[in-house]
Structure 1
């Protein structure tokens, strides 16, 4: 098939949608498809205003249409791109257009409108928690119009799919197209934590890690407070990987709670350093309440780490409570789960062994099959 992937954001921007759309493009080419990307993100050398960047990938190339406008200060939006997008989609003889949608995605919304009006079979995937945005979708009737023109809808988790379903016309099928990772790239580097031990036999420090942006939605301050409430600072250490506008506030809270040296802000690290950290760690903490998916959780799970996370979100598709780790409902339960993760060494080792030997379902090999099925559904719907 000849496939158009359309997304506001794309590398060199860094983020979940960016990495997933880029990886999907490469995987589709590797599976024998022809892929072109349309984005409002400028290229690594400033490519914009319709420049086509030729990106080599294993098995071929991806043409990236950089429909960015430099006068907008680097923001991945460009309302002036609609005409050019329409011409290129019309003339490109695409078999399917796959639009990737976030909470605020003006370029993706334009792409959905243009593709469905042109009659191109269209698949739309939401990478976000709709929450209050669902009201806007219902009020404007935009999903109804897209569905009436033959678009098929999906989201990256069961949780996110239920929200899209609630905003869509009654009876609309919303598929689940999960994000995916290369499991080999995240495979456990250390087997030492997999060896079951007698409860309490080890006198070593338990090493916990969390990877997240330091922004309010990710709840880094609440993570520090839960670690303090767990009462394990004398026998455990928490490394927080990531950066953001709350770094100063998080650092202040660490000092206030007398956790200096026990909770460490690592900042951003590259993948090699992250893999090395996971190889040394004993458990992973995820304090975010409303995750559409949870790529960082999936990576840690694939690396063999027991997971403690807030349930009731997209993380539920990755972590089975009591099997891959613990899912909790509030901050008091989060603190209790951290305490168990630190103190119950036998349980921790059993979860580690399971996670290191039973890979998660969200591998590219499995997800690509679902993506191709969604494209066939879009073509049949149109």
Structure 2
């Protein structure tokens, strides 16, 4: 198979921690092992080199501070530099990641102008936001410029179809079996406790506030629960205050933002994984929990529904009442926890990054061929 020079582009990349950051880097790393020349183009951060090599992948950071008063958009000079990098980089395919990334969408528009084949990977759902009509309109206008879309779940595929008639390929994210694990000790008072872990950015969209809201009723029957909240975000301080005011500090532990290696280390010590997000585009944290043999309770009708089969390898709740009931069932039934963990682990090979790399490279080949064929 012919090997291409590829640019993967997004604002969301290391040292920032999140699902897009992990999946884009792991795809780049895997493509590189297959002989592709891969560059990641992303934003700069203070103290981070503008050029580096990570796991065989060249990382190029455009210069430019955020526009005053916000953090999402960079100064215009950054987008001019991005255009120059694409114009002079001899890339055969450009793959922007994230419709909510200004660099990603800038790369999409630049690639169209430069006539470089471009595939956009959509990692998100518009969700129930007051701005959903505007966001769908913006998506329709932007995606006119792509040659194809990769959707990371069935839910994202459905969402993408509302914005474009371009070819859409459903390719799931994955989990890397070779990831390093750093075991971080939990607080000293964990002896005899049953650990319920949540990995998510502390935002309303992720539903983390629902874990805090459901905890008191669960603790009335089960005093030995420890809720480990892994991640950081704007709700963290409020949630910690709520827990303290309710007198539940001994049953909660907030880790703040930690590296992926430490996330896996925390999950190794968990008995149950709980994620009450109803707008989850895919759920890499679900795969991480499954890979560490931790049974999952999540919400139905989201990207997680591709991964979890309700009652077979985890629970999918249709509402928070059902979510709480499923948690209680797993708290009280160690055998059910073990059964879900076994089933989940047996299916984890479906999310191997080598398979994902092969699927993605076939999309690249198809788009490049169509671009060449139609312009002959």
Alignment counterpart, residue 246 of structure 1, candidates 235, 260, 265: 235
Q: Using the TM superposition, give the Cα deviation of residue 337 of structure 1 relative to its aligned residue in structure 2, in angstroms.
A: 0.7
- Return closer, same or farther for 1:344/1:29 CA change in 2, 3 Å cut-off: same
Name the CA distance, whole Å, in 1 between partners of 2:80 and 2:268: 50
Name the CA distance, whole Å, in 2 between partners of 1:138 and 1:246: 27
1:25-82 Cα offsets, whole Å, 9 max, x none, are: 222111100112222x1156355xxx5x131524xx41x3322313646756343334
The aligned residue for residue 192 of structure 1 is none
The aligned residue for residue 179 of structure 1 is 173
Name the CA distance, whole Å, in 2 between partners of 1:271 and 1:98: 24
Q: Using the TM superposition, give the Cα deviation of residue 258 of structure 1 relative to its aligned residue in structure 2, in angstroms.
A: 4.0
Question: TM-score w.r.t. structure 2 length?
Answer: 0.85
Q: Using the TM superposition, give the Cα deviation of residue 367 of structure 1 relative to its aligned residue in structure 2, in angstroms.
A: 0.9
**8 Å CA contact 2:313, 2:339 repeated in 1:** no
3-state SS of 2:249 partner? coil
3-state SS of 2:227 partner? strand
Question: TM-score w.r.t. structure 1 length?
Answer: 0.83
The aligned residue for residue 8 of structure 1 is 11
Name the CA distance, whole Å, in 2 between partners of 1:166 and 1:255: 44
- Return closer, same or farther for 1:343/1:174 CA change in 2, 3 Å cut-off: same
Count of aligned pairs between the two proteins: 354
The aligned residue for residue 210 of structure 1 is 198
**8 Å CA contact 1:233, 1:259 repeated in 2:** no
3-state SS of 1:77 partner? coil
- Return closer, same or farther for 1:89/1:243 CA change in 2, 3 Å cut-off: closer
1:272-318 Cα offsets, whole Å, 9 max, x none, are: 54333322321111111111111212111111110001111111122
**8 Å CA contact 1:5, 1:36 repeated in 2:** yes
Q: Using the TM superposition, give the Cα deviation of residue 223 of structure 1 relative to its aligned residue in structure 2, in angstroms.
A: 0.8
The aligned residue for residue 119 of structure 1 is 115
The aligned residue for residue 53 of structure 2 is 55
**8 Å CA contact 1:152, 1:381 repeated in 2:** no
Alignment of 1:217-236 (within 5 A): 217-230=205-218, 231-236=220-225
The aligned residue for residue 45 of structure 1 is 47
3-state SS of 1:185 partner? coil
1:69 maps to 2:64: yes
Structure 1 unaligned regions, length at least 5: 190-202
Name the CA distance, whole Å, in 2 between partners of 1:291 and 1:364: 20
Question: RMSD of the TM alignment (CA)?
Answer: 2.6
1:148-173 Cα offsets, whole Å, 9 max, x none, are: xxx1112211111110111113xx33
The aligned residue for residue 319 of structure 1 is 308
3-state SS of 2:198 partner? strand
Name the CA distance, whole Å, in 2 between partners of 1:308 and 1:19: 23
- Return closer, same or farther for 1:70/1:377 CA change in 2, 3 Å cut-off: same
- Return closer, same or farther for 1:290/1:75 CA change in 2, 3 Å cut-off: closer
1:87 maps to 2:84: yes
Structure 2 unaligned regions, length at least 5: 184-190, 372-376
The aligned residue for residue 23 of structure 2 is 20
